[in-house]
Chains A and B, each alone.
Chain A
Amino acid sequence: MRDLLRPSGAVLAVAIALALSARASVDDAQSFALQAAEPYVKEGFQVREDYWGGDLGAGEKKAVRQQLFKGNEYWFWLGTEVEKAKVSVHIYDSEGKLIEQPDSWQKGHFAAAHIVPKATGSYFIIVTVEDSPEERTHWALVYGFR
């Protein structure tokens, strides 16, 4: 019984270690996303503590659906710890129409999208790892509103 438990204990330990290291990297990515958000805090944006994160291969996309309210102004900031990666973020309405403001930007491993919603409802935020030297690139997306 003990022998049977030993390997599964080891597997569990490896699984936990892998999960922790994956989490740590998403947390690193989050710190870069927050770094992108920093200047906007001075402009009165409240940056949410909650965030989305994961990993993507080069050229892969991920969609995030978010409820936004007319009357507020939102920025979504994307970051990764892979400094040579290129990431982008764009906002679409529920019909799939690109709806972000023209001052949305992308600078290497940082990107941000800006929206002043004309209607309250669900919006899609599309995160893309455009290019990366890594097989999988961790990303984190935070948002703020005012």
Chain B
Amino acid sequence: MISLPRLLKFTAAATAGLTLCAHAAEAPKHIDVKQLSRNVEDVVVPLPNEIFGALNKLGGVNWREYVRNDKGNNFTERPRIALLLGSVIADGFIAVQAEDAPTVKDIGQRVLNLAKGIGVGNSITPHAKAITEAADKRNWVNVRQELDRTQNSVQKAMNEVGDQKLSQLVSLGGWLRGTEVLTAVVNQRFSEDGAELLRQPDLLSYFHTRLQGMPEYNMKLLTDIQDALVQVKPMIDVGQGKISPDSVKRINEITTRLDGEIVTR
């Protein structure tokens, strides 16, 4: 039989043990990142709403101003459809920020049609349905999650058939539209914290490298995007410096032009 003091002592020791286990293992306070650089996994491209969320915390944004519900053109070139798909999914996140249920539902259908255009419609049908249902209930958390799932399912389906490059173009299309809106918001009411959200040089390098690996897509649009990434890089890769209002304005002009090329013929 165990006495009460012994039991208490045992319980205290066990609790302390569990607490220690639950703490993070002792990690080095500093590592040499140069050594790591050769062995780094692929990036996960942030979702537009990851940036919009941070932007929202800097002050009220009138998201309705940025909602776009253009039925748009139908393209036949798969790279264009992929870019447009990313851009339209980004529009979905903007419509969610604006809590605009009809637009969210339209975008769900548009995404489905575009996905069919590149042969991955089947994987999107349940998500399009879920987007509509969640928008009807104004359950914005679920809509956001479904938009992420939609993008993920499209990209998974593309990867499964060996179309990783198209999958990367979906991310790029979303990133361009997200950056267009981010710069439009910051340009309208400049703040250093807002401009700092553009500090994404590694992501730019990532997209640039991926585009360089797509010589088979001989399209002016992709060349224009590559050139634009080169132009934008020095404006956001400012080290300890600040991103200027002029740079924000210039990046907005560039991304607006590119997004225009993506959505129109």
Residues of A whose CB lies within 8 Å of any CB of B are 46, 48-52, 54, 62-67, 69-72, 86, 88, 90, 92, 94-98, 100, 104-108, 111, 113, 119-122, 124, 126, 130, 143, 145-146
Contacts and interface: CB of A to CB of B under 8 A. Distances in A.
Contacts of A48: 44, 47, 148
Given A54-B41, A100-B24, A130-B25, A119 B196 contact: yes
Contacts of B41: 52, 54, 62-65
Interface stretch (B81-89, B128-136, B198-206): B198-206
Interface string B26-58: 011111110010011111111101110111011
Contact of A92 (B21, B33, B43): B33
A128 B149 CA distance: 28
Interface residues of B, number: 47
A-B pairs, top 5 by smallest CB distance, nearest first, are A71-B54, A49-B152, A90-B27, A69-B54, A96-B33
A76 to B, nearest CB: 11
Contact of A72 (B24, B50, B145): B50
Given A95-B33, A106-B25, A72 B149 contact: no
B200 A92 contact: no
A122 to B, nearest CB: 4
Nearest to B195: A120
B35 to A, nearest CB: 9
Contact of B53 (A54, A72, A113, A121): A72
